[in-house]
Amino acid sequence: MTTEEWDALKEEVLRMARGHWEGTLAALAPQLQPALDRVGRHVPCPVHGGKDGFRVFKDVGETGGSVCNTCGFYADGIATLMWANGWRYSTALRAVADHLRVGVHSAQPVCKMARPVVSTNGDDDRLRLSLNRVWSESLPMSDRDAEPARLYLARRGISIPPPEALRFHPALAYYGGEKRIGEFPAILGLVSGVHGEAVTIHRIYLTADGHKAPVASPKKLMAYPKDRKIVGGAIRLDDTKSPLMLVAEGLETSLAVMEGTGLSVWCAINAVMLASFVPPDWVKRVLIFADKDRPTEQHPKGHGQEAAKDLVQRLWAMGIQASAIVPGGEILQGEKSLDWLDILRRDGKAGFPKLSAIDRRVIRSAA
């Protein structure tokens, strides 16, 4: 396809899509459905998770635009699809064209098109600076001043020394929307992308005496520049390049699995990111220590269980042995889930499966 043909297709697709973005986004990125059901209202982000950072624009039908407080601003439907599905511009455009049956006469694939250069703007520079600043202000978890972090982890029932991959910030600003609420001590975790590149920082805001800070969202991801991709990423709690990888959702749960198994564990942060996790190329087997979540309307089998199952299936399709292990026992009354930290607190290390038992499970699930 020549540049002229490509430009013509682009123009035609965007013209055709105008007014049809709701259906187009729903068809090509079903994970956006909860947001499309509540146009203009905040819902959990389909890419990074969280509580309510994401919304589609009120005029989403016209523009296809959306915004996540953490991931970024997507002015139109193509940008929304590129972000939500981790697509290139050409892939997104082709998918929309196919969906709307635009340019069906042109049989040539567009996948050879070069990826447009992502222009950096002032916003991205500002985000890059603030990520670098926060990280450079942080201290090792073993620092004398990092007592709030050590107290917090001890209170949660974790007794292994925190891995060096985690850092401590003595006084990190907390914002509710645009408003600065205050400064709190915080545990920091560097979130790496699929290829190990730094993407953003995960924060757990604390009080000086080691409780969660009294704020709306004590666990948050920092906003990051548009040219960085969080999809598939994780907090790499360990840098051993073992062919066996353990992965869990939350930071505390991941540390509990590390303590319970004595093996290296990566933290996928939440169910949404766990489902999209991509292990590095040295990994041959993945064991997912899943959260057992109560069923909800949106997740009839429990969000944690569904995310783990999605990941298992995708990893097998990638040629990686994978299995998920859900904690045994009932979810306690008044609790929304049972996770491996609960198991560590309830049963200690004895509550964790032995590696030989895990092996048998892997073989069984492969059969």
- Write out the residues near Zn ion by the rule CB under 5 A: 45, 47-48, 68, 70-71
Angstrom distance (rounded) from CA 248 to CA 269: 8
Nearest residue (CB) to Zn ion, 83 versus 174: 83
- Nearest Cα neighbor of 270 from 354, 188, 339, 176 is 339
Handedness of CA 272, 278, 279, 285 (dihedral sign): positive
- DSSP 8-state secondary structure symbol assigned to residue 161: P
Q: Which is nearer to Zn ion, 226 or 285 (CB)?
A: 226
* Contact of 182 with 174, CB cutoff 8 Å: yes
Q: CB 168 → Zn ion: shortest distance, Å?
A: 25
SS3 265: strand
- Find the shortest distance in angstroms from Cβ 81 to Zn ion: 15
* Cβ at position 256, least distance to Zn ion in Å: 26
Query: Tokens 């997104």 appear where?
Result: 92
- Closest distance to Zn ion from the beta carbon of 53 (Å): 5
> Which is nearer to Zn ion, 80 or 323 (by Cβ)?
80
Least distance (Å) from Zn ion to the CB of residue 12?
30
E strand segments, the chain: 43-45, 49-56, 66-68, 72-74, 139-140, 166-176, 179-192, 198-205, 219-221, 234-235, 244-248, 265-267, 285-289, 292-293, 321-325, 337-338
Give me the least distance between CB of 344 and Zn ion, in Å please.
29
- Helical H runs in 59-207? 60-63, 77-85, 89-100, 122-136, 147-156
- Residue 72 CB, nearest distance to Zn ion (Å)? 8
Question: 48 vs 169, which CB is nearer to Zn ion?
Answer: 48
Please identify, using beta-carbon distances, which residue of 47 and 149 lies nearer to Zn ion. Answer: 47
| Residue showing tokens 């709307």 | 100
CA 39, CA 25: separation in Å to the nearest integer?
13
Q: What one-character DSSP code corresponds to residue 243? A: S
CB of 306 to Zn ion, least distance (A): 19
In the complex, minimum distance from the CB of residue 334 to Zn ion, in angstroms, rounded to a whole number: 29
Give least dist CB 296 to Zn ion, A.
20
C-beta closer to Zn ion: residue 220 or 236: 220
Distance in angstroms (rounded) separating the CA atoms of residues 39 and 32 = 11
CB atoms within 10 A of CB 347: 14
What whole-number distance in Å separates Cα of residue 323 and Cα of residue 309?
A: 8
Q: How far apart are CA 4 and CA 106, in angstroms?
A: 13
Q: How far apart are the first and last CA of the chain?
A: 45
Q: Which is nearer to Zn ion, 68 or 322 (CB)?
A: 68
The tokens for 296 are 């909800």
Residue 204 or residue 223: which is nearer to Zn ion going by CB? 223
Closer of 187 and 221 to Zn ion (Cβ)? 221
Nearer to Zn ion, 28 or 47 (CB): 47
